[in-house]
Structure 1
């Protein structure tokens, strides 16, 4: 073989076919096409009409039901009076931050225009969701579930369920996103939610959400698509067998309730093995001084028996929740999106090249609330940071690494500016989230899954590593941080692009508790990152400029 030439398995197959005289046609992965119209409409989950963001007239929006490696094409028509973007929560978008749908990566879809998202469910399985990412639009709807099924020849560690149900839980605000943004811009908070919903229903009316056949087993994909609080989920009289979270198969344990923190998704198996009748699902707030809850009806097929009025209660205290986290383990013997054991990647034996500590804080700037990470509060750039970087004019808009890897926690000042950490491609890093406040925080990193290796009380120190799970910590994309506590994750920065790391508590993210991570491949090759799509929206000073030379 010639020196320096890459000889892939597909090259081998094509070459062998040529030598054997076989006319080989290699099929591309299937495409799925969607057309979504985004409008404002009226819903009444609390019994009072209110405005919400609808997709094709629906709240929540349609589910995306796809399979590993399928190509997704979604033509989005923005019929709102405001700019709009979708982001795909948990979708790793390998080599393709152009489709991430955050304000730091994409120009918005302007009112009366459309844009087509094109991406692939590359090497992923599991439960995810999509949502509107601009401003506080997420509080007003526009969200829906995403399920990525395993390919037919990839075994999963449980029998095929009778059916597969998506359960989206979150808070309800009666004020439209514009009013919430106005409150935050004036230095006020958004207040407490008026209620909680399950798939847009609160349970004020006994709406039947799901039907189960007696003795059959069903998969429920539960995602907290809310903006503020942890929700505890449970099903009256039934245990839940946890099988997957945030895209990873887990060791199967049974739970009578699950704390689902903001941005997290769990898959459970539920067997209809109780007395035929109706049963209530419940989602209720955790770690708050107020109580909000919602119910949704599950009915056994062929029966009209009403549910029992005796509803299960939520657990008390955050130590219960921490103990539940420590019970989660990665399933090391199950295949993931590819036919190899998930545990073949021994993350615990890789040397850490960089430790980044991120310390959240809140303070006043010009008399208004701002939230910060390591003393810096994120300020939106006039144009997407990804475009600025791609066109090579970073110095005109931001500076890299303006926050230290080791925060000065005794300095309470807050500086507002764009925040971009520059990461070395393929470095294996440790990120510590420190939360000195009294509320539970939740953090998400676009473009990646990470190993949630540990949590603890107080400040993190190097001695904290002795308690890390370096064997079977679950690979996931969102992690909670309990009050006056820390959480630790590990990951390899191997997905080139510009990626958003943010608080999932949306008013905190809106007021600055987010950063971007720039991961640049030194090779500047299509092997590592896709070129800017021909259809990419350009705005500001880039609107009339030619696109840079593509990678090769």
Structure 2
């Protein structure tokens, strides 16, 4: 902008399904209000924005940095915000050709389809001009695309601010040149704001402009996995036991990603039976085709390969992956997933640790997985077989083995431990001798920060804790003890101080603390883990801005898990129905034949127990964009449940049977949000879920025996709109099997 032209700026920030900002500007003596809609999230918090020699002090946002959009998660909402827009900014990354292609093939067409102001001003912007040496899209290509879609064109750098403000200045001046736009627009923008039940402060603006920005973002991570059996990797060196390794590793390689990265995993199956991987806790926004369970994917056959491609959308935290079919998880094949914050986007609610350690703990059977699988299918006594040991990162306890897990720390420094229970059956209590743990995160949610001496981690759950090395130089045990079962097995590793000459003492591993048989400690701890309402997670808005204090429930499922005889075989059942896996994936049948000949929708009883135990292909409707309440009732031993594609708001625990009056004791203020929850013996757990992610989603017990023997169902969340921004079409490498082979 020209020197001497005053620019007055203030911001009002609202948390919507899409974000927007209101910016007041004065150009050429006219005071204007810009309503800027953003379909993704904001990035790059900067200490100040300098506009025409005026400095807006305090923590404010660089305009273009806020406007990272075009992300699929919000595609379900964007069409309404195109309508009435005066200006549209389409942004691509000049260093990533796929973002340019996406604008050309998807977003530019959506603009033409949904924009009702045919005179609206469009600008095509190539970002990251500061990285010209890495350019993948030439300036000439950008100009050609702009000409094709009748857009203005410029290139900018959000990092150096070059041309950022010029972009908005050009847009505003061009809008002012079209009087008919101003006649249409003000009411449209205001109506959209009011529809979201947000109240804008009154202003003396001459006009209300609606500006819509579109951009693709993130990096691509490519991995090749050779999946094979190994006997040398078995924790029992003398056992004839096969272990699944990935590239010769057990556990498998770390997936270390940042919010909005795209993961490509090319899986080569060198096993002698079919294989799928699932990504525990990764929500696969709008894309259940990549979920990797029997209801969504055909298996990768022996000697074949298949590539998973999925976006880590709007998530942070600690997760893990594992093989999902044929009881293969009992043979290993699992590994850690980290999703890091983009620290230029969101402030992390704790100081950066010195280092991060991935710790996968879990029970392990002495028998080969095929032997265990065969016992389950033919002999009910398999249910009573307990695991033989507890592993830490695939290693046996240090009292029993020369090869054990150990982490080296320096006195006075703080470390993050990302801990997941990847086992088959047992809930575990984890502690580090003489050290406390500060709980900070669980499965993508920042928690209230509480100090713990020990932490109960149920099958399928993940946590992040901070541990400060504040003891004298020595070695200390890391201990994982089973809960709710009578067994003496234990997992044992070592926290080693870098200057230590004192080994951990066997005599210090004594007793069971807390009491392994009483659920009181565990329930009290579970209730004390709350959502950190003020911290941002993947987005620079407080987690608590999206809450359950005033929701209207559209559905309630009451699911009772138990054990029953079905066709002369002991099975696990939900409402007396044991899930029977069809040869054709449900999602494939949905796509090619609307489910015909594979399953019958909504035949499963969602609020009652079937009169007689039976097999069934359990698929139920979840109301798209509705609030679902699920009550898990447990008549058997400790259990844990997981829903792919979503996270639970964990609103309540209780003993005995749930009743509608139990809602009076729900925590709807700051319930923890996570993807796997525990259900205590003879008790219930209640959760809320907002069904905004269309697809076919697996709801299952994380106990491997129970899952394999029928304790699961699928929730079909359907949106009839074929727009690929709402739900992804099948991938180009779609596998076919079953009746569609």
Trace 1:245-324 onto structure 2 (pairs within 5 A). Answer: 245-309=442-506, 310-311=508-509, 313-316=512-515, 317-324=518-525
Decide which of 596, 604, 607 is 1:406's aligned counterpart. 607
TM-score normalized by the length of structure 1: 0.94
The answer to whether the 8 Å contact 2:622/2:628 transfers is: no
Decide which of 530, 543, 551 is 1:350's aligned counterpart. 551
> Measured at CA, do residues 492 and 3 of structure 1 come closer, stay the same or move farther in structure 2, by a change above 3 Å?
closer
Q: Does 1:102 align with 2:293?
A: yes
Per-residue CA deviation, residues 40-89 of structure 1 (Å, 9 max, x unaligned), is 10224244343211111111111111111011111110001000000000
Trace 1:43-62 onto structure 2 (pairs within 5 A). Answer: 43-49=233-239, 50-62=241-253
Distance, in Å, in 2 between the alignment partners of 1:478 and 1:503 is 9
- In structure 2, the residue matched to 1:159 is 351
State the 1:187 CA deviation.
Answer: 3.5
- In structure 2, the residue matched to 1:390 is 591
Decide which of 221, 226, 233 is 1:32's aligned counterpart. 221
Per-residue CA deviation, residues 17-41 of structure 1 (Å, 9 max, x unaligned), is 6687523596641111111111110
State the 1:111 CA deviation.
Answer: 0.2
Distance, in Å, in 2 between the alignment partners of 1:254 and 1:3 is 46
SS of structure 2 residue aligned to 1:353: strand
> Measured at CA, do residues 256 and 113 of structure 1 come closer, stay the same or move farther in structure 2, by a change above 3 Å?
same
> Measured at CA, do residues 140 and 237 of structure 1 come closer, stay the same or move farther in structure 2, by a change above 3 Å?
same
Decide which of 392, 395, 403 is 1:198's aligned counterpart. 392
> Measured at CA, do residues 246 and 192 of structure 1 come closer, stay the same or move farther in structure 2, by a change above 3 Å?
same
- In structure 2, the residue matched to 1:447 is 645
Distance, in Å, in 2 between the alignment partners of 1:320 and 1:208 is 28
Q: Does 1:435 align with 2:626?
A: no
Distance, in Å, in 2 between the alignment partners of 1:10 and 1:31 is 30
SS of structure 2 residue aligned to 1:391: helix
Decide which of 494, 507, 519 is 2:717's aligned counterpart. 519
Q: Does 1:183 align with 2:315?
A: no
Q: Which consecutive residues of structure 1, in runs of 5 or more, have no partner in the other structure?
A: 544-552
SS of structure 1 residue aligned to 2:707: helix
Q: Which structure has the greater CA radius of gyration?
A: 2
> Measured at CA, do residues 24 and 539 of structure 1 come closer, stay the same or move farther in structure 2, by a change above 3 Å?
farther
State the 1:440 CA deviation.
Answer: 0.5
Per-residue CA deviation, residues 394-416 of structure 1 (Å, 9 max, x unaligned), is 2311111112222137x3x2110
SS of structure 2 residue aligned to 1:205: coil
Higher fraction of helix = 2
Distance, in Å, in 2 between the alignment partners of 1:22 and 1:447 is 38
Q: Does 1:333 align with 2:522?
A: no
Distance, in Å, in 1 between the alignment partners of 2:585 and 2:444 is 28
Which sits farther off after the overlay, 174-183 or 467-476? 174-183
State the 1:208 CA deviation.
Answer: 4.9
- In structure 2, the residue matched to 1:229 is 426
Q: Does 1:23 align with 2:155?
A: yes
The answer to whether the 8 Å contact 1:99/1:106 transfers is: yes
4+ residue runs over 4 A deviation: 1-4, 6-10, 16-21, 24-27
- In structure 1, the residue matched to 2:336 is 145
The answer to whether the 8 Å contact 1:85/1:132 transfers is: yes
The answer to whether the 8 Å contact 1:236/1:311 transfers is: no
Q: Which consecutive residues of structure 2, in runs of 5 or more, have no partner in the other structure?
A: 1-34, 36-78, 92-121, 126-150, 158-214
Distance, in Å, in 1 between the alignment partners of 2:675 and 2:734 is 26
The answer to whether the 8 Å contact 1:208/1:299 transfers is: no
- In structure 1, the residue matched to 2:316 is 125
Distance, in Å, in 2 between the alignment partners of 1:9 and 1:293 is 65
State the 1:164 CA deviation.
Answer: 0.6
The answer to whether the 8 Å contact 2:554/2:623 transfers is: no
Per-residue CA deviation, residues 172-207 of structure 1 (Å, 9 max, x unaligned), is 112222212111110322511111111111222353
- In structure 2, the residue matched to 1:84 is 275
> Measured at CA, do residues 350 and 196 of structure 1 come closer, stay the same or move farther in structure 2, by a change above 3 Å?
same
- In structure 2, the residue matched to 1:506 is 704
- In structure 2, the residue matched to 1:458 is 656
Which sits farther off after the overlay, 346-355 or 496-505? 346-355
- In structure 1, the residue matched to 2:735 is 537
State the 1:298 CA deviation.
Answer: 1.3
The answer to whether the 8 Å contact 1:46/1:195 transfers is: no
- In structure 2, the residue matched to 1:477 is 675
State the 1:3 CA deviation.
Answer: 8.9
State the 1:168 CA deviation.
Answer: 0.4
Q: Does 1:426 align with 2:617?
A: no
Distance, in Å, in 1 between the alignment partners of 2:441 and 2:551 is 25
Distance, in Å, in 1 between the alignment partners of 2:485 and 2:433 is 23
Q: Does 1:174 align with 2:373?
A: no
The answer to whether the 8 Å contact 1:249/1:331 transfers is: yes
